[in-house]
Chains A and B, each alone.
Chain A
Amino acid sequence: MYVIVVGGGKIGFYLATALLSEGHEVLVLEKDPRRCEFICEQLGSVVMRGDGCEARTLADVGTERADIFAAVTDEDEDNLVACQVAKHKFKVARTIARINNPQNEMLFKKLGIDVTVSSTNLILEHIEEEVPTHSLIHLLNLEGGRLEVVEMKIPEDSQAVGKKIGELAIPPGSLMCLMVGKEGAQVPTDDTIVEADARIVVAIRPEAEAMLRAALTTAK
């Protein structure tokens, strides 16, 4: 595959290294001449000095035949514009943007960027998994963040323990997908009894998180 990487910082450099070792054709676009020199010394002539947001530069590097276009500079706005130019001027099928501000995820999706990678969200997800007191874990974002799949652990002292799912004040529009308890995994129905320490996977709108948390974790 031909992959264009915009931004030859640490992420761009290691990304290019990994892609090259997998046998892909890679081109890194970087504005800073010293950084270009470094990448050239390390990886060979896979780097070009230039602004990845400029249509002329992108034409020079054959962007129209790129399979993947990844913008990974540390500025969200530069990544957005580079991907938009690749998408609209050069019809690149797959554009990937790195974002710092997780709020930008929705905007980028709305503007046609295929994939966004938010380091802030990735780290946050890992912290949520590590910290046992944090009862709600984000597993997946859908529909550009308008819907999410979360996992909740039912605390032992929760008022939900021993009740039927149908009796709980589950937010409307949310879907209980899976309960993993002592007996293993099952698809919960209204009659399923909630077990202490069980994990429940729910598809839900982000704004309904607080209500779900209250329904499943409020102490007796």
Chain B
Amino acid sequence: MNIIIMGCGRVGAQLAALLDRDGHKVTVLDVEQYSFRRLADNFGGTALVGDGTDEDALRKAGIEDADVFVSVTQGDNRNVMAAQIAKHIFNVPKVVCRIYDPLREEMYSTLGLETISPTMVGAQLFRDMILG
């Protein structure tokens, strides 16, 4: 599959490595060249400097042929906006986005975005671990 990952932080880089290893065609987008230091030496995909909330930058990253778009930058709003561009402007079949704020996550999930809130997931994991 053609997969675009927006944001090359710890999660973005890790996800890129996993999907690359699985044989997918991965393109990672980040506004900072410096972020790409997190990619493994044997990463076989493409790393591209660009703003994922900008339609032209997304086009350059090949969004018109993408099967999957994932937004995992540090900013909830940036992730949500990029995901909505991917879904509503470029009709990418699968769009997943990270939203730290659980309230915002709940709203966008009712609006039809596929979302993950690490805050929620993390808190639940901690609770489960504490209570055994």
Contact = CB atoms under 8 A, between A and B. Distances in A.
A81 B80 contact: yes
B84 A75 contact: no
Contacts of A110: 88-89
Most A CB atoms within 10 A — which of B55, B77, B85, B88? B77
A111 interface: yes
B77 A80 contact: yes
Contacts of A78: 77
Contacts, number: 53
Contacts of B75: 77
Interface in B55-114: 55-56, 75-78, 80-81, 84-85, 88-89, 101, 103-104, 107, 110-111
A86 to B, nearest CB: 11
B104 A76 contact: no
Contact of B84 (A55, A89, A107): A107
Contacts of A53: 76-77, 101, 104
B89 A107 contact: yes
8 contacts: A77-B75, A77-B81, A85-B104, A85-B107, A88-B107, A103-B54, A107-B84, A107-B85
Interface of B: 53-56, 75-78, 80-81, 84-85, 88-89, 101, 103-104, 107, 110-111
Interface of A: 53-56, 75-78, 80-81, 84-85, 88-89, 101, 103, 106-107, 110-111
